[in-house]
Amino acid sequence: MSRISSQLASYAALLSLCAVACSSPTVPDDSVTFPKGFLWGSATAAFQVEKGNANSDWAAWVETPGKIKNADKPSLNGPDAFAHIDDDIAALKSAGQVMYRFSIEWSRIFPTREDFDANRPNAEALATYKGLLAKLKAAGLKPMVTLQHFTLPVYFADPTKNAEPYGWERPEFPAAFGTFCERMGREYGGLVDYWTTVNEPIVAPLGGYVSGDFPPGLFLAMDRLFTAIKGQAKGHVACYDALHRSDTIDADADGEAVLASVAAHQRTFHPADPENENDVASTERVRYLNNLWFLNAIVRGDWDDDGDMSLEGPNDKKADPAMKGKVDYIGLNYYSDTIIQFQGSVPLFKSLPSRDRLPTGRPRTDLAWDIYPEGFETVLVEAAQYGYPIIVTENGLADATDQNRARFIGEHLLAMGRAMKRGADVRGYLHWSLVDNFEWAEGFCPRFGLYAFDPGTGARTPRGSVATFKKWIDAGRLTKADVDALPPYVSPGAGACVK
Ligand code: BGC
C-alpha cells in the first residue's frame, strides 16, 4: 500500500463515513414510491428574485463594472417577487407543491447599521415578508425560510474595502447574525415551518476568496477563506440557538416549534486520473472539506480547526457540547460532480479542483455542469450517516429551452428513491427554482425556473416540464419506464450560457 493510499485508509477510518459504501449503488431503481406527506416544493432566494435590495454587499457588487455577465441586475430585469406574491403562490399551487423555500434579506429589514443596532426594522419590509408568510399558510403551503442566502449587509461586508475583515471573517459577525435570527424567530416563528440558517456554507466564500467571482473578489486567499467558513459555522450555531430561544410557537401544531438546519451544498468528486496519487489524494481532501468538515462540526461537535482531516490539532475539539447537535434535519443541495486534477499545492485544499471542465462524456446543462444523478444517491447516503432526516433544499438545472428538465428531475428522483431504499430518511424535495432568477455572477442567462417570467409584466409562465413533475407528485410515484420514455438529453443544453 502506498503512503497516500494508507493515509486515505486512515482518513476513512477516522471519518467513519462511507468511503466505499456510499458510492456503490446496489438497489434497483425501476420504481420509487414516496411516503404520504412528502414535502414537494421549490426554492428561491431574496436577492435573486426581489427588486429594491440596495444595502447588501451584492447590491454594491452588481454595480461594479465587469462582475456580472451582461451587467444584469435583479432590480433592473428581475422577477420582482415582492410585487408578485400572489402569482408565485398560484405557481406553487398549480405545480402541485406544498412547500416554498425563500429567504429574508437581512439588509432589507435593517438597511443601516444604526437600524440594526437600535433594533429598528424597516416596517414595509417586515410587513411584506409577513404578508407572504400569511398568504402561504392560508394557501396551505409550508414555508421554509432562509436567513442568510449569500448576501451580507454592506455595513458588515463592503466589497470596496476588501483588505479589511469581511462579513463572516469579523469576530463580532456570528453573534450579530444570531441577533438577527433571534429577532426573526420572534417576529415570524408562528408562521414558519422550517428554518435554514446559512445557505450553502463554503460556497459563497469559495467564490469570494478563491475564484474572485463573488464579493469580496479575492483570489486564492486561503487563510481568509477558512476564517470565513469557520465564522459561518459559528454563525450557524448562534442562529440555531437563537431560533430555539425565540421561536416558541408551533407553526403547524405538529409538536415541533423549531426545525432548523443549514442547506449544505454536497457534491461528488472524482479524480481526473484514478491512477494518479495526487489526483486521488486531492479528491479525498476536497470531498472532506466540502461535504464533511462543516457537518462534522455542527452535527457531531467535531471541530477540525486546521482542516487537516484529523482531530489531533491543538485547537481541535471532539464532540464539543457548544457545537454538537445543532441541526433538527439536514438540508441538502445537490447539483453536480466535480473532477479533481492536481494543479500544484495550495494551502488548505492542497490542490484545487480543475477550473476547466474535463471531458467526462456526460450530458451537460446550459452552464456546462455535468448531469450526474448517480451523485445525488451518493451524497444522500453519505449525509444519512449523520442520523437526521434530510430535506433536499435545492436541486435543478439551467435549461432555457426546457428540453432536459423533465428527464433531469425524473433521473434525480429515481436516484433519491435509491438512496431512500438504502436508508436515507428523505422527507422532502425542493426544486431550484420556482422562477427564473438572478444567477449571481452569471446574471440572467441561466434559466433554472420551473416558471419563466415576462420582464415587462412579471407574469409567470410554466415550462412544459412542470406538468410532468406534477404528474409524479400527484401519483406519489414514478418508474424508470416513465423516465426512459422522455426525449434524450440535448447536450450541452441548447440555451447554453457557456460556449
Ligand atoms: C445556490 C443558488 C443558486 C443555485 C444555482 C446554489 O448554489 O444556493 O443561489 O442560484 O445554486 O446556481
431, amino acid identity? H
State in Å: Cα 221 to ligand 1 middle.
22
* 243 vs 241: CA distance, rounded Å: 5
User: Which of 144, 432, 435, 440 to mutate to test ligand 1, by most ligand atoms within 8 A of the CB atom?
Assistant: 432
Mean pLDDT across 159-177: 98
Give the per-residue pLDDT at 10: 29
Pairing label, strands 39-43, 260-271: unpaired
State in Å: Cα 439 to ligand 1 middle.
7
Mean pLDDT across 64-76: 95
More confident: 146 or 286: 146
Specify whether the CB–CB gap between 409 and 469 falls below 8 A: yes
* 421 vs 410: CA distance, rounded Å: 16
* 301 vs 295: CA distance, rounded Å: 9
Mean pLDDT across 120-148: 98
Q: Grid coordinates standing for 454?
A: 415576462
> Rounded to the nearest 10 degrees, how much is the dihedral formed by the CA atoms of 310, 313, 315, 319?
40
Give the per-residue pLDDT at 341: 86
Going 95 to 462 to 466 to 204, the CA torsion angle's sign is negative
State in Å: Cα 316 to ligand 1 middle.
31
State in Å: Cα 284 to ligand 1 middle.
24
* Per-residue exposure over 2-30, b if at least 16 CB sit within 10 Å of its own CB, e if not: eeeeeebeebeeebebbbeebeebeeebe
pTM above 0.75, yes or no: yes
| Residue whose cell numbers read 431504499 | 421
| Residue whose cell numbers read 459559528 | 234
**439 CA closest ligand 1 atom index:** 10
Closest CA to 334 of 431, 404, 423: 431
Residue nearest atom 1 in ligand 1 by C-alpha distance: 200
Specify whether the CB–CB gap between 274 and 215 falls below 8 A: no
Q: Is the peptide bond before 216 cis (omega within 30 degrees of 0)?
A: yes
* 284 vs 269: CA distance, rounded Å: 8
Could you tell me the pLDDT band of residue 472, with boundaries at 50, 70 and 90?
very high
CB-defined site of ligand 1, < 6 Å: 45, 48, 199-200, 203, 265, 333, 394, 432, 439, 448
Burial class (CB in 10 A: 0-12, 13-18, 19+), 368: middle
**433 CA closest ligand 1 atom index:** 10
User: Which of 44, 197, 394 to mutate to test ligand 1, by most ligand atoms within 8 A of the CB atom?
Assistant: 394
**Beta strand ranges found along 131-227 (DSSP E):** 142-148, 194-199
Residue nearest atom 5 in ligand 1 by C-alpha distance: 439
User: Which of 103, 105, 332, 439 to mutate to test ligand 1, by most ligand atoms within 8 A of the CB atom?
Assistant: 439
Crossing angle (nearest 10°) for helices 373-384 and 405-421? 30
| Residue whose cell numbers read 423549531 | 258
Q: Is the peptide bond before 336 cis (omega within 30 degrees of 0)?
A: no
Specify whether the CB–CB gap between 145 and 184 falls below 8 A: yes
Q: What is the pLDDT of residues 301-328, one digit of tens each?
A: 999 999 999 999 999 999 999 999 999 9
Could you tell me the pLDDT band of residue 347, with boundaries at 50, 70 and 90?
low
Mean pLDDT across 174-186: 98
- Phi, psi angles (nearest 5°) of residue 389: -60, 155
State in Å: Cα 203 to ligand 1 middle.
9
Give the per-residue pLDDT at 364: 93
Residue 25 has pLDDT above 80, yes or no: no
Mean pLDDT across 23-49: 87
Could you tell me the pLDDT band of residue 17, with boundaries at 50, 70 and 90?
very low
Residue 7 has pLDDT above 60, yes or no: no
State in Å: Cα 276 to ligand 1 middle.
32
State in Å: Cα 249 to ligand 1 middle.
30
Give the per-residue pLDDT at 156: 98
**440 CA closest ligand 1 atom index:** 10
More confident: 8 or 221: 221
Residue nearest atom 12 in ligand 1 by C-alpha distance: 439
Give the per-residue pLDDT at 468: 98
Closest CA to 85 of 55, 49, 114: 49
State in Å: Cα 335 to ligand 1 middle.
9
Q: Which residues pair with 378 in a beta bridge?
A: none
Q: What is the mean pLDDT of the chain?
A: 92
* 381 vs 27: CA distance, rounded Å: 12
Percent pLDDT > 70 in the chain is 92
Please name the helix (run of DSSP H) or strand (run of DSSP E) that holds residue 477, with its range, or none.
strand 477-479
State in Å: Cα 110 to ligand 1 middle.
24
237, amino acid identity? V
Pairing label, strands 451-453, 426-432: unpaired
Average the pLDDT over each of 357-366, 443-452, 471-480 and give the range with the smallest value. Answer: 357-366
Residue 118 has pLDDT above 70, yes or no: yes
Give the per-residue pLDDT at 449: 98
Could you tell me the pLDDT band of residue 27, with boundaries at 50, 70 and 90?
low
* 462 vs 125: CA distance, rounded Å: 28
Please name the helix (run of DSSP H) or strand (run of DSSP E) that holds residue 431, with its range, or none.
strand 426-432
Mean pLDDT across 440-453: 97
Q: Which residues pair with 268 in a beta bridge?
A: 337
User: Which of 44, 151, 433, 440 to mutate to test ligand 1, by most ligand atoms within 8 A of the CB atom?
Assistant: 440
Which residues are within 8 A (CB) of 90 and not within 5 positions of it... i.e. 6 or more apart? 460
Give the per-residue pLDDT at 493: 79
* 57 vs 150: CA distance, rounded Å: 9
**335 CA closest ligand 1 atom index:** 11
